[in-house]
Amino acid sequence: MTVDALDLPTAGRFVGRVHRFPVRVYFEDTDFSGVVYHANYLRYMERARSDMLRVAGIDQRDAFATGAGVYAVADLTIQYRRPARFDDALQIHSTVEVLRAAACIIDQRILRGDELIAQARVTAAFITPDGRPRRQPADWVDAFTRLLPTP
């Protein structure tokens, strides 16, 4: 069976330097209070970051498999503005704000249409498989640089 493009998961897309990634809220994401469980927004944001890297041409699986390294969240701040609910179609907007040798800072916003559901600032550090900080691969830095605001 060849897989039709219609049957591939979306990786989102860049509009300017903002990566947009769609997410549907399923049963698993909510809790008995009727809204999305707060920790699950972090799962949404991680999916968006992974696919932002994919669209930017960065292969995380290969980097881990070859022992180059992997991103780990070092620091995260999130403000929850409004609750999202079962069946909502959300968008995650991700923007690389700061690029350092061994880390980058990403602004992420979760939206339902025009409404801001949550906003976060995430520091992702590049580390070796055994956990020590390491410079990001040069071509990754190039890929990120293209995503940064023009000074």
Q: Which is nearer to a second copy, 72 or 145 (CB)?
A: 72
Nearest partner of 36 among 94, 2, 78, judged by Cα = 78
Q: Which is nearer to a second copy, 15 or 151 (CB)?
A: 15
Catalytic residue among 7, 29, 31, 142: 31
Shortest Å distance, C-beta 9 to a second copy: 4
Shortest Å distance, C-beta 11 to a second copy: 8
Q: Which is nearer to a second copy, 85 or 146 (CB)?
A: 85
Distance in angstroms (rounded) separating the CA atoms of residues 17 and 28 = 31
Q: Which is nearer to a second copy, 32 or 138 (CB)?
A: 32
Shortest Å distance, C-beta 151 to a second copy: 27
Q: Are 95 and 107 in contact (CB under 8 A)?
A: yes
Q: Are 94 and 107 in contact (CB under 8 A)?
A: yes
Residue 31: active-site member: yes
User: Applying CB under 8 A, which residues contact a second copy?
Assistant: 1, 3, 6-13, 20, 22-24, 26-28, 30-35, 37-40, 42-43, 46-47, 50-51, 60-61, 64, 70, 72-80, 82-83, 85-87, 89, 91, 111, 113-114, 129, 131
Nearest partner of 144 among 41, 75, 15, 57, judged by Cα = 57
Q: Are 132 and 77 in contact (CB under 8 A)?
A: no
Q: Are 2 and 42 in contact (CB under 8 A)?
A: no
The three-class DSSP label of residue 93 is strand
Shortest Å distance, C-beta 56 to a second copy: 15
Rg (CA), the chain: 16
Positions marked active-site = 31
